[in-house]
């Protein structure tokens, strides 16, 4: 059962990435925060080519990596206009530094803890990602690049991974650290989905009021 849950998680994350790509290009912005994107690219590359997982997770990792590269293209295309605090001449150096730092963190944590499943880094950066999505939504004060389906699919994908890892790894997966990570990610994902829903509702209300005012 745990294996099927992990496959389901992979599928929901693929859908999340596809929706991020679609919405990002539609709204002409990037949908994934820079640090989260660099962490994902690093994890997917490391566990596809340096410490490759066994099939079918290996194939899922590669699909994730390909989709994240498209998200990266969107970041390069639209990121400079979004990240106004970063001078244009520093845009690419900041990206390279962030990617290098993320890659080293994932690789060295993996080697330090002999964590060849990548669980510590996967769930750790997933929690970071959940917080960063909330931060991005708050800073933009709009759902540009985001949607309720992205939030829900991300939440379901990680929830399935949490349950699957808990079942498949009765020792590591049931430690207090991982139980905390499962719970914290789910809570922040719920908060994020709720914030997205409220933003959409607020936008629709303003749109309706504007339409009534014009009549």
Decide if pLDDT at 215 tops 60.
no
The pTM of the full predicted model, rounded to 2 decimals, is: 0.93
% of the chain beyond a pLDDT of 90 = 86
Tell me the pLDDT tens digit for each residue of 1-12.
768 899 999 999
Task: Report pLDDT for 13.
Answer: 97
CB atoms within 10 A of CB 199: 17
Whether the pLDDT of residue 191 is over 60: the answer is yes
CA quadruple 118, 47, 12, 73: dihedral, nearest 10? 120
Structure confidence at residue 210 (pLDDT): 57
Domain boundaries, the chain: 2-214
Q: Of 64-68, 83-87, 99-103, 204-208, which gets the smallest average pLDDT?
A: 204-208
**What percent of the chain is modeled with pLDDT above 70?**
94
Phi-psi sector, 106: left (phi>0), alpha (psi -120 to 50), beta: alpha
Closest by CA position to 151, among listed 32, 38, 53: 32
Cα 197 from chain centroid (whole Å): 18
Give the whole-angstrom CA distance, residue 176 versus residue 86: 39
Exposed/middle/buried for residue 171 (C-beta within 10 Å: 0-12, 13-18, 19+): exposed
pLDDT in tens, 32-83: 999 999 999 999 999 999 999 999 999 999 999 999 999 999 999 999 988 8
pLDDT in tens, 116-155: 999 999 999 999 999 999 999 999 989 999 999 999 999 9
User: What is the model's pLDDT at position 174?
Assistant: 94
């Amino acid at each position: 059962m745990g294996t099927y849950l992990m496959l389901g998680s992979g599928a929901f994350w693929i859908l999340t990435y596809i929706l991020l790509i679609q919405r990002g290009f539609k709204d002409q912005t990037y949908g994934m925060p820079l640090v989260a994107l660099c962490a994902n690219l690093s994890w997917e590359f490391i566990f596809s080519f340096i410490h490759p997982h066994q099939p079918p997770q290996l194939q899922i990792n590669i699909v994730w990596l390909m989709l994240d590269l498209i998200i990266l293209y969107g970041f390069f295309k639209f990121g400079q206009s979004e990240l106004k605090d970063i001078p244009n001449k520093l845009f690419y150096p900041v990206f390279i530094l962030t990617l290098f730092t993320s890659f080293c963190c994932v690789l060295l944590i993996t080697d330090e803890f002999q964590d060849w499943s990548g669980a510590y880094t996967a769930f750790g950066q997933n929690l970071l990602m959940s917080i960063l999505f909330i931060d991005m939504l708050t800073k933009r004060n709009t759902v540009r690049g985001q949607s309720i389906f992205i939030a829900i699919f991300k939440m379901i994908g990680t929830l399935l991974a949490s349950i699957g890892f808990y079942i498949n790894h009765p020792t590591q997966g049931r430690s207090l650290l991982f139980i905390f990570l499962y719970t914290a990610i789910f809570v922040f994902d719920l908060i994020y989905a709720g914030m997205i829903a409220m933003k959409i509702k607020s936008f629709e209300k303003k749109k309706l009021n504007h339409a009534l005012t014009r009549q």
